[in-house]
Amino acid sequence: MPLIQFRNVSKIYPKGVIALKDASLAIDEGEFVSIVGQSGTGKTTLVKLLIAEEEATEGRILVSGWDITGIRQSEVPILRKQIGVVFQDFKLLLRKTVFENVAFALEVAGVSSEQVKSIVPQLLKIVGLEHKAERFPRELSGGEQQRVVIARALAHRPKILVADEPTGNLDSINTSEIIELLKHINEFGTTVLLVTHNREVVNGLKRRVVMMDGGRIVSDQAKGRYLL
Amino acid sequence: MVAVSCLTKLKGVIYCNYMLLRSLARVTNFGLQGFWRNLWLSAVTVTIITLSLLSVSLLATISVLSSAALERLEERIDVSVYLKPELKADDIELARRQIESIPGVKSVMLISSADALERFRAKHASNPLISESILELGQNPLGATVVVKAATEAGYQSILSELETSRHTIYIQEARFDDYRKVVNTVSDISGRLRQIGGVVTAVFVAITLLVVFNAIRINIYTHREEIAIMRLVGATSWFIRGPFWVESVLYAGLATLVAAALFFPLLSLFQPYISTMFNGYEFDMVRYFSVRSLPFFGLQFVAASLLNVVASTVAMRRYLRV
């Protein structure tokens, strides 16, 4: 059974604005899938539906067999512990240190302080920031901030890591570092969903590419390229 | 088998309670951290709440002062009943007893004709014409006086009515009842109006205070909207997100109450001499009055401010929790 399933999903906003139309998609465990397309083609809507930030107008969405289409607000935290999310604008707590930002994801889940102290350094080591644990986000570069977000997203050992334009604010060197990090995470078994419109990044990956246009999935290739 | 099951359940309960305690400790810690790391915003919020609490204290002070002033004024009101000068001592005593038995009379004081003359002389000592006139008369023209105090301010009306009946007029020479009625009615009116105006002013002021504090907390939450979104993103439950803000809200209320109390008493001491002058001849110590009642007075303010802050936080957060 696929890890993620979108079954004929549509998202129509008030006044008839169609963000997603009849999208069907199945992603297996361990895959690295790039969702590509121009701005406003429905990529981010797909992500928002997956993390239950938005509710589908039609169709069904399943994560590990769990139908999250009509998910209750009280169940959202459970879902979000299974899906790590990385956004273009970092979304870090600016008044917390790097360590505290990563620890926060564990603390909200009730993980003991001893475990937090043991897990966070490991996560920071994975993203190469173990020496900047006490810095505040504003003291880091864009690439470093994004790596903190990735470390935080991995805190619950999620089955899925969704990265929505993670390199949108980064230069080419930082971009390639972040992509390498995502590939590395995928090699450890985490399913990665990369949403991007960066042609070079997608073509360099040589992994599955799902292309969107006008709110629809227009192509889905196992080792695709971003051609548009 | 049953024993093992029970043990497992017990372990589960202990673990759940431990988790709950841990979460509570974290929520408190995050609340304190939020307060400290956002010191300027916290200081502004505490200042606004402090000013609001001081305003409430000021209103309470005015209310206490006006009540005390009215009480003193009401104490000064009495009805002097002038008895006929020809009455004998026994008749005077009988008249005194009759007046004392009127329902609503708190106390009566008898002033003999000699005392009445002495008081009259003292009162008009600066007027030689009056003194000479009394000397020319050669005898005391004044009768005894019965000074009547009512149990309640409203009681004067019925006492005055009763004194006008034929049962009493036989021994009363003169009583300018209408003058007393006017004084009593005026005081009663002022008292009633003051209470009404005070009530309206207090209500308006409390409403303004509520809005100011409510908005201060809303602004505070608005500045934290990103943080709330991130909390939701990493899987925090609603209560875990609300908790630190509630802690902060109670902290604001606690600090504001302490600061307000610390400022209130010195301010009161500063105004005490003026208050003493106002209550000329009466002992009324405002500092002592509020010192004795400081725990319930400021305790109530703390509880009310905490509740208001928590409600304001909850309402303001509701919008940002839909992430």
What digits encode the pLDDT tens for the residues B14-23? 666 677 788 8
Q: Is the pLDDT of residue B223 over 70?
A: yes
pLDDT at residue B121, as a whole number: 81
Show the tokens assigned to A127. 């993203």
Query: Final residue of a domain: which of A157, A173, A195?
Result: A157
Q: Is B40 on the interface with A (CB under 8 A)?
A: no
In whole angstroms, what is the distance from residue B213 CA to residue B228 CA?
A: 21
Show the tokens assigned to A182. 């995502």
8-state DSSP, A52: T
Cβ–Cβ gap A78/B235 under 8 Å = yes
Q: How confident is the model at residue B89 (pLDDT cuts 50, 70, 90)?
A: confident
Average pLDDT (A213-227) is: 82
Do A75 and A97 fall into the same domain?
no
* B235 vs A74, A95, A109: nearest CB: A109
pLDDT at residue A168, as a whole number: 84
Q: Mind listing the pLDDT tens digit for each residue in B41-85?
A: 889 889 988 988 888 888 888 878 877 877 777 777 778 888 888
* Chain B residues near residue A88 by CB distance under 8 angstroms: none
* A110 vs B23, B226, B234: nearest CB: B23
pLDDT at residue A101, as a whole number: 93
pLDDT at residue B296, as a whole number: 94
How is chain A split among helix, strand and coil, in percent rounded to 5?
35, 25, 35
Number of domains in chain A: 2
Do A7 and A57 fall into the same domain?
yes
Average pLDDT (A64-89) is: 89
Q: How far apart are the first and last CA of chain A?
A: 31
* A77 vs B37, B229, B237: nearest CB: B237
| % of residues, chain A, pLDDT over 70 | 98
Interface mutation target, options A73, A107, A117, A161, chain B, most CBs of B under 10 Å: A107
In whole angstroms, what is the distance from residue A35 CA to residue B120 CA?
A: 107
Sequence-distant contacts of A215-219: CB under 8 A, at least 24 apart: A215/A11, A215/A18, A215/A19, A215/A20, A215/A21, A215/A23, A215/A41, A215/A42, A215/A45, A216/A20, A216/A21, A216/A22, A216/A23, A216/A42, A217/A23, A217/A24, A217/A25
Position with higher pLDDT, A63 vs B162: A63
Q: Is the pLDDT of residue A138 over 70?
A: yes
* B233 vs A78, A80, A109: nearest CB: A80
Residue of chain B whose alpha carbon sits nearest to that of A53:
B323
* A112 vs B22, B231, B240: nearest CB: B22
Q: Is B129 on the interface with A (CB under 8 A)?
A: no
* Chains A, B: CB pairs < 8 Å: 49
In whole angstroms, what is the distance from residue A105 CA to residue A152 CA?
A: 6
Cα B77 to Cα A184, A199, B71, B311: the distances in Å are 94, 96, 10, 48
Q: Is the pLDDT of residue A159 over 60?
A: yes
The nearest CA of chain A is from the CA of B231 a distance in Å of: 8
pLDDT at residue B303, as a whole number: 95
Do A108 and A73 fall into the same domain?
no
Q: How confident is the model at residue B317 (pLDDT cuts 50, 70, 90)?
A: confident
Range of weakest confidence among A32-36, A144-148, A164-168, B82-86:
B82-86
Selection from B74, B57, B79, B312 nearest residue B205 by Cα: B57
Range of weakest confidence among A101-115, B112-126, B197-211:
B197-211
CA angle A227, A202, A48 (to 5 degrees): 100
In whole angstroms, what is the distance from residue A164 CA to residue A170 CA?
A: 13
Q: How confident is the model at residue A226 (pLDDT cuts 50, 70, 90)?
A: low
Q: Which amino acid is at B62?
A: I
Q: Is the pLDDT of residue B314 over 90?
A: no
Do A8 and A74 fall into the same domain?
yes
Q: How confident is the model at residue B178 (pLDDT cuts 50, 70, 90)?
A: low
Q: Is the pLDDT of residue B2 over 60?
A: no
Do A95 and A198 fall into the same domain?
no
Range of weakest confidence among A5-9, A109-113, B204-208:
B204-208
The nearest CA of chain A is from the CA of B322 a distance in Å of: 8
Cβ–Cβ gap A81/B235 under 8 Å = yes
Range of weakest confidence among B64-78, B154-168, B237-251:
B64-78
Do A58 and A2 fall into the same domain?
yes
pLDDT at residue B323, as a whole number: 40
Q: How far apart are the first and last CA of chain B?
A: 46
Region of residue A96 (left: phi > 0; alpha: psi -120 to 50; beta: else) = beta
Range of weakest confidence among A202-206, B198-202, B266-270:
B198-202
Helix (H) or strand (E) holding B146: strand B145-150
Position with higher pLDDT, A216 vs B173: A216
The per-residue DSSP string of A4-29 comes to EEEEEEEEEEGGGEEEEEEEEEEE-T
Region of residue B35 (left: phi > 0; alpha: psi -120 to 50; beta: else) = alpha
Q: Is A39 on the interface with B (CB under 8 A)?
A: no
| Interface TM-score (ipTM) > 0.85 | no
Cα A85 to Cα B59, B95, B96, B150: the distances in Å are 53, 97, 94, 80
Range of weakest confidence among B35-44, B210-219, B307-316:
B210-219
In whole angstroms, what is the distance from residue B35 CA to residue B29 CA?
A: 10
Q: Is the pLDDT of residue B281 over 70?
A: no
CA angle B291, B294, B297 (to 5 degrees): 140
Query: Is the separation of the CB atoms in A163 and A191 below 8 Å?
Result: no
Selection from B143, B142, B144 nearest residue B134 by Cα: B142
Q: Which positions 169-228 of B are in contact with A (Cβ < 8 Å)?
A: 226-227
The average confidence (pLDDT) of chain A is 90
- Edge-first strand listing for the sheet containing B145-150: B105-111, B145-150, B79-83, B172-174
Residue at token pair 């600061």:
B259
Average pLDDT (A60-88) is: 90
Do A7 and A113 fall into the same domain?
no
| Strand positions, DSSP E, chain A | 4-13, 17-27, 32-36, 58-63, 66-67, 83-87, 160-164, 191-196, 208-213, 216-221
Domain CATH code at residue A54: 3.40.50.300
Residues in chain B: 323
Interface mutation target, options A72, A91, A108, A111, chain B, most CBs of B under 10 Å: A108
In whole angstroms, what is the distance from residue B281 CA to residue B290 CA?
A: 21
Q: Mind listing the pLDDT tens digit for each residue in B118-148?
A: 888 887 878 888 878 877 777 777 888 888 8
Q: How confident is the model at residue A130 (pLDDT cuts 50, 70, 90)?
A: very high
Do A125 and A151 fall into the same domain?
yes
Do A71 and A167 fall into the same domain?
yes
Do A198 and A151 fall into the same domain?
no
In whole angstroms, what is the distance from residue B11 CA to residue A109 CA?
A: 19
Query: Final residue of a domain: which of A140, A157, A174?
Result: A157
Cβ–Cβ gap A108/B231 under 8 Å = yes
Residue at token pair 């206490």:
B64
CATH class of B78-152: alpha beta
Q: Is the pLDDT of residue A208 over 90?
A: yes
Q: How confident is the model at residue B176 (pLDDT cuts 50, 70, 90)?
A: low
Cβ–Cβ gap B234/A112 under 8 Å = no
In whole angstroms, what is the distance from residue A127 CA to residue A98 CA?
A: 12
Show the tokens assigned to B65. 């002062």
The average confidence (pLDDT) of chain B is 80
Cβ–Cβ gap B232/A155 under 8 Å = no
Do A137 and A98 fall into the same domain?
yes
Structural domain of A115: 90-157
Query: Is the separation of the CB atoms in B245 and B306 below 8 Å?
Result: no
pLDDT at residue B13, as a whole number: 61
In whole angstroms, what is the distance from residue A31 CA to residue A160 CA?
A: 9
In whole angstroms, what is the distance from residue B267 CA to residue B260 CA?
A: 10
Range of weakest confidence among A185-199, A213-227, B254-268:
A213-227
Query: Final residue of a domain: which of A133, A157, A181?
Result: A157
Cβ–Cβ gap A91/B226 under 8 Å = yes
Q: Is A157 on the interface with B (CB under 8 A)?
A: no
Do A194 and A179 fall into the same domain?
yes
Average pLDDT (B165-178) is: 72
Average pLDDT (A87-111) is: 87
